[in-house]
């Protein structure tokens, strides 16, 4: 028998940015769609009209696109479907599966206080479910506002989660919850179930924070005469202190990581590991590999730890393994000059030399700048002292500058040979010249092979930076 294809959805609420937890949910749904030959629907849950605006939804979509998450249908906006939810709520009232609740806020507050005093958790009494038709009509005629509540059976609920196995909620866990508010807008429970039905969703893969909603949703599916989809709840994401990942933990949005120079492929790969593993110790996966290897069976149920340091490490590794062309494309938004005005063959060589050592795209954009623009380095006094231990060394650098100004070819071999010859003439180790030269041309003490850098930088710029550093040393280091 042919396996039924999985219809999945990613359903973010537009809160202004795409949280990495949401991004992980989107990624897992995307990968499951490939694995199970299915479809991914993007649905924007923007029924909270006061908090949602289109700009926020666009941010989320841009972040998903940047991350490389591909969906097949949508975006569908729940805010455009409010009437549908309303109709569906009344359908349940007609079937006797939901009812109008006229209880006022004050009445409910009293009930809540009473429960609190008795150290019980508050559950709505269900009082309005037993109103007679006559009483209802009177209340309606008097213009009293109401909400629609769902008649939630009071029993033990058991469902089989795709990730966590059997999940049990004891009797008394739920009350008759609200489907439609007094302003006729749907609650999340109603809109999510109506849409999952309308869109033919077969598998709901979402964060663990929704697990206690699932019995409500299952009952709602049944009330609408539908078999519920399969549910799978992804593990929580904690920070390194094992606290729930929140803004307090540092950056939590995809957009922030993008702006900090993280490559989308690195973030994607890192997020895949938050709750999934291949079963061996591999950590680097291309999207093509993931499309084949990802499976629901290997999603864990224990919390995942979001470790920014590990992401940064992975990002640096990614920078070293991606192609030069890809690195050029990725670094472009961070450059301080117009790439169109630069000799691209030359620029690629510069990127090739530096990308294996850059920490992120901001760092890469920074180290390549002196090759293209004439940079006014702000040399650091204490760093300079580390590379220039003695006053004489400044004079040696001056000699190096004079020699370099005289050589014809600025090839890697020529600049290296010249420096080494000078060091031996002076009777010092080559490092005496190498370290300050590196610092002079890059304002950094570490980097790629020095003579490759000097060669690529070229004679004019090398001499310029050397002269600049020598005068800095004379003025500030040995004054």
Task: Kindly state the DSSP code that residue 184 receives in the 8-state scheme.
Answer: S
Q: Does 8 bind ligand GLU (CB under 6 A)?
A: no
Least separation, in Å, of the C-beta of 155 and ligand GLU?
23
Judge residue 391's burial from the number of C-beta atoms within 10 Å of its C-beta, 0-12 exposed, 13-18 middle, 19 or more buried: exposed
Residue 247 a catalytic site member: yes
Instruction: Report how far apart the first and last C-alpha atoms of the chain are (Å, whole number).
Output: 85
Least separation, in Å, of the C-beta of 45 and ligand GLU?
4
Q: Does 13 bind ligand GLU (CB under 6 A)?
A: yes
Q: Does 304 bind ligand GLU (CB under 6 A)?
A: no
**Quick one: which segment of 8-16, 314-322, 335-343, 368-376 binds ligand GLU (CB under 6 A)?**
8-16
Q: Does 348 bind ligand GLU (CB under 6 A)?
A: no
Cα–chain-centroid distance for residue 80?
27
Q: Does 232 bind ligand GLU (CB under 6 A)?
A: no
- For ligand GLU, the closer of residues 30 and 45 by Cβ is 45
* Binding-residue total with ligand GLU (CB under 6 A): 7
One residue of 45, 176, 366, 418 binding ligand GLU per CB under 6 A: 45
Please state, in angstroms and rounded to a whole number, the distance separating the CA atoms of residues 343 and 337.
Answer: 12
Q: Does 192 bind ligand GLU (CB under 6 A)?
A: yes
Q: Does 210 bind ligand GLU (CB under 6 A)?
A: yes
Using only C-alpha atoms, the chain has a radius of gyration, in whole angstroms, of 32
- For ligand GLU, the closer of residues 220 and 266 by Cβ is 220
Per DSSP, which regions of 85-209 are E strands? 98-101, 147-150, 157-161, 165-169, 178-180, 203-207
User: At a CB cut-off of 8 Å and minimum separation 6, what does 310 contact?
Assistant: 270
Counting DSSP H helices and E strands in the chain, the numbers are 20, 12
CB 285 within 8 A of CB 272: yes
- For ligand GLU, the closer of residues 45 and 219 by Cβ is 45
- For ligand GLU, the closer of residues 81 and 210 by Cβ is 210
User: At a CB cut-off of 8 Å and minimum separation 6, what does 108 contact?
Assistant: 124
One residue of 8, 11, 314, 422 binding ligand GLU per CB under 6 A: 11
CB 399 within 8 A of CB 351: no
| Catalytic entry in 171, 247, 332, 460 | 247
Q: Which residues bind ligand GLU (CB under 6 A)?
A: 11-13, 45, 192, 206, 210
Active site residues: 247
């Amino acid at each position: 028998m042919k396996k039924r294809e999985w219809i999945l959805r990613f359903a973010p609420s537009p809160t202004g940015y795409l949280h990495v937890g949401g991004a992980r949910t989107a990624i897992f749904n995307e990968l499951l769609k490939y694995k199970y030959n299915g479809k991914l629907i993007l649905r924007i849950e923007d029924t909270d009209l006061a908090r949602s605006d289109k700009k926020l939804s666009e941010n989320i979509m841009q972040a998903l696109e940047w991350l490389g998450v591909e969906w097949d249908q949508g975006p569908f906006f729940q805010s455009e479907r409010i009437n549908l939810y309303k109709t569906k709520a009344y359908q349940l009232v007609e079937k006797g599966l939901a009812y109008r609740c006229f209880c006022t806020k004050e009445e409910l507050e009293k009930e809540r206080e009473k429960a609190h005093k008795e150290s019980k958790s508050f559950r709505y009494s269900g009082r309005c479910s037993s109103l007679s038709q006559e009483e209802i009509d009177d209340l309606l005629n008097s213009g009293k506002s109401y909400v629609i509540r769902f008649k939630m059976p009071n029993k033990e609920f058991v469902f089989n989660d795709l990730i966590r196995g059997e999940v049990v909620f004891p009797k008394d866990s739920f009350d008759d919850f609200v489907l439609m508010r007094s302003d006729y807008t749907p609650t999340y429970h109603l809109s999510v179930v109506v849409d999952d039905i309308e869109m033919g969703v077969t598998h709901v893969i979402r964060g663990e924070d929704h697990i206690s909603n699932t019995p409500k949703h299952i009952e709602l599916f049944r009330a609408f005469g539908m078999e519920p989809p399969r549910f799978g709840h992804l593990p929580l994401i904690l920070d390194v202190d094992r606290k729930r990942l929140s803004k307090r933990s540092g950056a939590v949005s995809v957009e922030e990581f993008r702006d900090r120079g993280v490559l989308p492929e690195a973030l994607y790969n890192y997020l895949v590991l938050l709750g999934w593993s291949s079963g061996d110790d591999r950590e680097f996966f291309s999207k093509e590999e993931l499309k084949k290897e990802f499976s629901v069976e290997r999603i864990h149920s224990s919390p995942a730890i979001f470790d920014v340091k590990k992401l940064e490490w992975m990002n640096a590794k990614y920078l070293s393994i991606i192609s030069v062309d890809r690195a050029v494309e990725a670094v472009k938004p961070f450059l301080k000059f117009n790439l169109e005005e630069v000799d691209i063959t030359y620029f690629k060589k510069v990127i090739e030399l530096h990308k294996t050592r850059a920490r992120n795209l901001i760092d890469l954009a920074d180290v390549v700048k002196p090759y293209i623009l004439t940079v006014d380095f702000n040399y650091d006094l204490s760093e300079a002292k580390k590379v220039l231990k003695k006053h004489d060394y400044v004079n040696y650098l001056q000699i190096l500058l004079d020699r370099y100004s005289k050589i014809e070819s600025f090839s890697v071999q020529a600049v290296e040979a010249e420096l080494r010859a000078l060091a031996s003439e002076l009777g010092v180790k080559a490092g005496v010249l190498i370290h300050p030269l590196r610092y002079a041309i890059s304002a950094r003490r570490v980097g790629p092979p020095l003579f490759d850098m000097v060669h690529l930088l070229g004679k004019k710029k090398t001499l310029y930076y050397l002269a600049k550093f020598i005068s800095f040393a004379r003025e500030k280091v040995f004054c």
